[in-house]
Structure 1
């Protein structure tokens, strides 16, 4: 019985009233950073949908410092791999003390930085707040890790989510954020605002099971704006963009010809056909693997520093054999081994890196690099996060992104373009309803429960 009670506690949210007036905002912060930090502190539980390079790191550290000063209790900040050292460096820059990176659950500081993969070393009751850096990364974890994170968060008073891509592929992903913060549950959100998608042809709707109800669109965005703050540039909040101008992003699409036409329905095709489902896309990737990898190495050869983004192990292995200056991050490596390679590349010691978007596309600042090769998939989030490692505020050079696909994968490029438009629409809607309240009230159930007659006998 005790085990079941524990299970129920893990499923429930710690409830109450949250947020307080900010105690300290550094003068050296930009105006939009001060505004976002102050909003977050007053909210107590909220999401910062702030774009890359706008200062999410210092915003999170200032929020954590305020909570420590208010409560005299600890704050845990969870980050992707190799991002923790950036938090420690930023804390030193702004004079925020008590920030410590823990790899094993042992610590003495007040603001503890840890990787998501090491959360099992920590206990929720030891922290007054938890901040999830690059929170959209949650869906990349396997079930056990994801469940551990969500159950941990539910037991902590102050909860902050921070990401540049809150719902990159599907608006329903916002339900994960809402549920983690203790607002509307994922299934409740679907019932209230969404309907089943019957249009699976439009590029923007590929792989999308749910779409917004027409009559609920405005209320949906009002509701999301009630617990989140979206910032793509300082002017979204009424401040100057003067110090936040991006260099040019040069996207080159290279189409490799597939010399082995796909077999559709068991029949070999006379001409190369466009891949339309997962099985065909996978077959297309395998059939053109060698030519795509050779093209990637050819394009990277003229750049001193570059990142190869791959999807398959065989792609990464072949590129590593073709480019002797490149090192590969493998899924089989230990966390420490992966981190060592990522830090080495971030410091400029390693010139060429081979990795997957699912492993290292989040949170890392690679403005020292201005070239990348990319094998596109239908995931807009992976594409956006991968290219924004380089193309971000603070980059001084134009960034070249070489996307390489086969002639049977061009539908993927259309999908990415449509999803980019969809992401821009989301930002516009969230900014439109900035500061507007939208309350969902629970309807009390007051009717007496009437048992069926056969149970009353």
Structure 2
């Protein structure tokens, strides 16, 4: 790929539209016996080369895969492999007989080992090979020798466990054309979709997780989709996967594709509510509580099993002629079903695979009336609708994907009868029922969202790329006051507006590569793939910083090394990305002289709570996996002066050399002429402290309206009154804090928590109506500062490297700590910030500074027992 020649091209290249690596196939060369919408999907997938087909139940995923293999074998040569769940191969042979005739005929061959593959090749080859997931998982067949591979109902991999899911997919890395065909993934399974993208070669799994998901800084491995990235995430998915609920999503007729009506009946079975179990301390429960956790739920299901079996027999007796699937999760339930239902046959894990598959096929063909099975084993792929339209679930669980797949074994396009589902559960498992119903509702919402995207944009990559491109750039907004100027703008574009040699000092905390994103725009430096990509964007900024900095002056860059989780790197253990080293080499590459590094101590205990990598317990088990705490660093660089003979800056930063005396019990600094120095000079003690390579920081910084909103409601009232008394009242700030509380669902509806304080003595504003409340403030949706730049770090840099009245610049302004501190110290400040919300909050603080009023900071709220909001950290 050619390097971008302009900054705009670099940003446009960030748009993640899946590459097309297949063949353009004319529609007339696609099997005419397939449905029109199926042919459209085949044409799109063949052109893509590696695609996901997330089509609903009964929308011909089987025929789609067979045709893709047939077409690509002709064009690319080589062999094709389709990997199937158990009991599904008969569906492929049936479709091959019915839909692939004449010039479009195919030969399918089922194999379970390398020996069977060699035997099939010996009889002339030319087959499309089928095998089961178990064959690949157990290493009996190497998928890397095939040119084309399809995973049918790949969601079944979850039933093998997370580790198998992650290790299974890389086995296909050498396969040129890869496809995934499965029903719509569960809405709670974002990682499943990410793993499919990794399997298809669309995007590295770790990279995708970093790009679209925010990490909980207080809990390692806890990832949630960025609210501002949700639309882009689904648009990106739509560039490599088609989510199809019905043919009309692609503009085709839905005639013959109406799902049969679904009737779901919930049967709550009473249990003995008088407590009969003891907790771990031997205390008996007076009332039987709702089951919580898998072990408690399994216990409740076993206790209620006789009553559930009795209800199941009543259901069957009401219509004994209908065939039924009897779904269960426990082996005890299977044995109880076998004892209670004459003629039932079961499928279970210890069975011989051939016997298991024979029973599935026989039931599918109407050979016997009752089949008992676990959804986790039989819920994917099998088409059981021809002779069955009723099912009973003996119990309810939390695995929604297994449940919905089991339902759709019989509720499918082509089902000729209304479908009836009976779900039996003990009343002590009402919570499990509520959870299952909530997941079902979210599943329907996600399916509707994907259908909307497909209907709007079709299968055109160009249309989706145009939508994604709209998030490039920001409308510049400028604000200024006494001694400061700030802009809501891309920092590269802002620096390009600035004159050569115009800045006296640069102080900034750069983003930590792609660890976090703060805005939905591609301009965001965090919106990068990896370190190389991040510093590729820095390659446009750093030369501008060198250009605008005066000769001989300094750039102070605050950084922190990144903790890389083993699940992302594949190393299995947390490791450290030496980001400060990479940053050092980057600035040197662009002409800055490296002057040294300050190490800023951090709390190793708190870091462990956030990353789980330095735990005392783990150290006791194996200390070889333990590293060290990750401090922050201040990297100091210099733009070389014009005259390098003595290396003084073109405009030197001079310091008064005071001596210290005791005067009236106070320490006073005097200059070399014996005159007292007003304020703080630059003493020998200060120089020794600043020149040391280890600094401690007070951690003080500005607060955002978001962080004020994170406080406990009782604390918010106190803080807001104090804040409103110390600053000039601002209506928009007042409203924005209230909006943040409302967004988090904690803005009280029965009392006012944000009382504006009054300075009038005849108005009482301190009557505390919150004293009896004990409300914990929710923090969902908050904007995190990964590693805020502390006041005293900025102050030391400004004091040491500038003269009064000079200009200090921060290209990543955040809340404008740098210009704020610069103005307070008698300098001028300038900054750029891309995040509109941070820009507005920072401007309010600067405007308050203009009014000579106190600006709230982290430590302002620590007095009188008022708790400050939790500080974000990496």
Show the counterpart of 1:287: 303
C-alpha change, 1:36 and 1:388, in structure 2 (3 Å) is: same
Show the counterpart of 1:178: 197
Secondary structure, counterpart of 1:354 in structure 2: strand
Show the counterpart of 2:424: 404
What is the CA deviation profile of residues 173-212 of structure 1, one whole-angstrom value per residue up to 9, with x for unaligned ones? 21111111112233322222223579xxxxxxxxx95332
Pick aligned residue for 2:128 from 111, 116, 125: 111
Q: Which runs of 5+ in 2 are unaligned?
A: 1-17, 455-459, 470-526, 537-581, 589-593, 598-874
Secondary structure, counterpart of 1:270 in structure 2: coil
Secondary structure, counterpart of 1:159 in structure 2: strand
CA distance in 1, matches of 2:113, 2:400: 34
CA distance in 1, matches of 2:380, 2:352: 18
Show the counterpart of 1:276: 292
Secondary structure, counterpart of 2:198 in structure 1: helix
CA distance in 2, matches of 1:60, 1:50: 12
Shift of 1:330: 1.7
CA distance in 2, matches of 1:262, 1:411: 20
C-alpha change, 1:151 and 1:186, in structure 2 (3 Å) is: closer
Shift of 1:400: 0.9
What is the CA deviation profile of residues 297-348 of structure 1, one whole-angstrom value per residue up to 9, with x for unaligned ones? 3312324311110100000001101112101112111211111111111111
- Further displaced range: 36-45 or 143-152: 143-152
Pick aligned residue for 1:164 from 173, 180, 183: 183
- Further displaced range: 255-264 or 420-429: 255-264
Pick aligned residue for 1:22 from 25, 30, 36: 25
1:194 aligns with 2:213: yes
1:58 aligns with 2:75: no
For the 8 Å contact 2:50–2:179, the answer to whether it is kept is yes
Shift of 1:349: 0.9
What is the CA deviation profile of residues 383-434 of structure 1, one whole-angstrom value per residue up to 9, with x for unaligned ones? 1110101111111111110001111111222212211221222223323333
CA distance in 2, matches of 1:424, 1:197: 27
Show the counterpart of 2:666: none
Secondary structure, counterpart of 1:268 in structure 2: coil
For the 8 Å contact 1:50–1:163, the answer to whether it is kept is yes
CA distance in 1, matches of 2:433, 2:163: 33
CA distance in 1, matches of 2:243, 2:329: 30
Shift of 1:135: 1.1
What is the CA deviation profile of residues 141-178 of structure 1, one whole-angstrom value per residue up to 9, with x for unaligned ones? 14775466312222211010011132353323211111
C-alpha change, 1:262 and 1:117, in structure 2 (3 Å) is: farther
Shift of 1:84: 0.9
Show the counterpart of 1:425: 445
What is the CA deviation profile of residues 186-245 of structure 1, one whole-angstrom value per residue up to 9, with x for unaligned ones? 3322222223579xxxxxxxxx95332211111111111111100011111111111101
1:315 aligns with 2:343: no
For the 8 Å contact 1:85–1:101, the answer to whether it is kept is no
1:344 aligns with 2:344: no
CA distance in 2, matches of 1:403, 1:233: 27
Pick aligned residue for 2:403 from 380, 383, 389: 383
For the 8 Å contact 1:262–1:283, the answer to whether it is kept is no
1:38 aligns with 2:47: no
Show the counterpart of 2:108: 99
CA distance in 1, matches of 2:140, 2:447: 36
C-alpha change, 1:414 and 1:366, in structure 2 (3 Å) is: same
Shift of 1:18: 1.2
Show the counterpart of 2:374: 356
Secondary structure, counterpart of 2:428 in structure 1: coil
For the 8 Å contact 2:325–2:372, the answer to whether it is kept is yes
Show the counterpart of 2:254: 241
CA distance in 2, matches of 1:224, 1:148: 22
CA distance in 2, matches of 1:366, 1:192: 40
Which structure has more relative contact order (CA 8 Å, sep 6+)? It is 1
CA distance in 2, matches of 1:246, 1:17: 33
Secondary structure, counterpart of 1:254 in structure 2: strand
CA distance in 2, matches of 1:16, 1:193: 19
CA distance in 1, matches of 2:448, 2:23: 28
Shift of 1:359: 0.6
Secondary structure, counterpart of 1:230 in structure 2: strand
- How many residues get paired? 430
Secondary structure, counterpart of 1:408 in structure 2: helix
Show the counterpart of 1:6: none
Show the counterpart of 1:205: none
1:72 aligns with 2:77: yes
Q: Which runs of 5+ in 1 are unaligned?
A: 1-14, 199-207
For the 8 Å contact 2:62–2:92, the answer to whether it is kept is yes
Higher-Rg member (1/2): 2
For the 8 Å contact 1:56–1:162, the answer to whether it is kept is yes
Shift of 1:126: 2.5
Show the counterpart of 1:141: 160
Q: CA RMSD in A?
A: 2.6
For the 8 Å contact 2:111–2:131, the answer to whether it is kept is yes
Show the counterpart of 1:150: 169
Show the counterpart of 1:333: 351
- TM-score normalised by length of structure 1: 0.87
CA distance in 1, matches of 2:212, 2:276: 40
- TM-score normalised by length of structure 2: 0.47
CA distance in 2, matches of 1:185, 1:257: 50
Shift of 1:130: 0.6
For the 8 Å contact 1:100–1:109, the answer to whether it is kept is no
